[in-house]
Structure 1
């Protein structure tokens, strides 16, 4: 599940259109790059790690997160807007549900590569690959096994499909033996793959 699938032909076409828009005065020189940089400036997996650590340490926040994640993340000074229209964020948590059944969640975008970029920054290249997008919905356990994550047979596995309107974030299961760690130390344990559901913490 690795590799860069960017097309140099498409990149050249995008650069050509950008040059035409600039030459006709519809865009300032470098304006698209400036806007993209501004959009990506606040996005980093550290934001997702902070969300997970707060959910682990504050049950009230975890509850608010499950009901309205867009509003809850503002408590941490975070937003899904990224300078553009705000997308809906749904946060799902790994671990036992109210009936004690162990739950594991994994995120994909089967149509393209929708991802909470404004919050987490650019997605990993494998997330955009056709191999991941097509296989994780058909054989999620097999795909997770390739990432080194072997789930018990009794674990219920849900695949969430992102869209243009909605994005997903996984709160990984809190590791055992971390009761004495601070929220900041807990956040340091969380990886980007854990926030997608392809890794445990």
Structure 2
């Protein structure tokens, strides 16, 4: 699998982001929301309840075989043990990527997403094109994200629901044997825990 610098233009709807900004500006102008409070909420999800939480889960699984087994057996309990639990993250299942299997997550009906471990869902995750196409043509969609999955690797698409959410355990990059958990966590991206990307290499 390879990744490169890319945009998600083919699976995104840029107008959605513009509409959100316009709506935010309008509500702020009418004093219906406090921009400072909104920024604080967003910062909380991005830094405290965001992908960094999931990255710590992944890094621990990479370095602790017992924790990895527990995570794959009971994702909810294993993630909760690190303090990452709450609304939108009550029932979690970890999906392990291997040299022969690549997992990718979607929510075809709406945008169910594990907020406690991954933070705010990206706009493209909620977009109709991604939700429809990744189920029908996952390899093509992944390629648009810069991820070229070899033909001999099985791609499994998992559909999140209001009752069940998924966290992809990406493969550990080579050349990271001597890195600490903290250093490993820095290599784990949000996309790699959704399955639309892979963990970064140490030299990234």
Please say whether Structure 1 and Structure 2 have the same fold, judged by a TM-score greater than 0.5: yes
Q: TM-score range by the shorter chain?
A: 0.7 to 0.9
Query: Is the partner of 1:175 in helix, strand or coil?
Result: coil
Gaps of at least 5 residues in structure 1 are 16-28, 97-101
CA distance in 1, matches of 2:159, 2:88: 20
Structure-1 separation of matches of 2:90 and 2:83: 16
**Residues 85/141 of structure 1: CA separation in 2 closer, same or farther (3 Å cut):** closer
Confirm or deny that 1:65 pairs with 2:76.
no
Return the TM-score normalized by structure 1. Answer: 0.78
Shift of 1:37: 4.0
- 1:84-105 Cα shifts (integer Å, max 9, x gaps): 4852101101114xxxxx1110
Equivalent residue number for residue 91 of structure 2? 88
Partner of 1:122: 120
Q: 1:42 deviation in Å?
A: 4.0
Q: Which residue of 2 aligns with 1:55?
A: 61
Q: 1:5 aligns with which of 5, 16, 33?
A: 16
Q: Which moved more, 1:85-94 or 1:191-200?
A: 85-94
Query: For residue 176 of structure 1, what is the aligned residue in structure 2?
Result: 174
Alignment of 1:1-201 (within 5 A): 1-2=11-12, 3=14, 5=16, 37=41, 40=45, 42-79=48-85, 81=86, 84=87, 87-96=90-99, 102-201=100-199
Residue 191 of structure 1 and its aligned partner are, at CA, apart by 0.5
Q: Distance in 1 between matches of 2:151 and 2:172?
A: 20
Question: Could you say which structure has the larger radius of gyration?
Answer: 1
* In structure 1, C-alpha distance between the alignment counterparts of 2:114 and 2:107, rounded to whole Å: 11
Instruction: State the aligned residue count.
Output: 175
Q: TM-score, normalised by structure 2?
A: 0.76
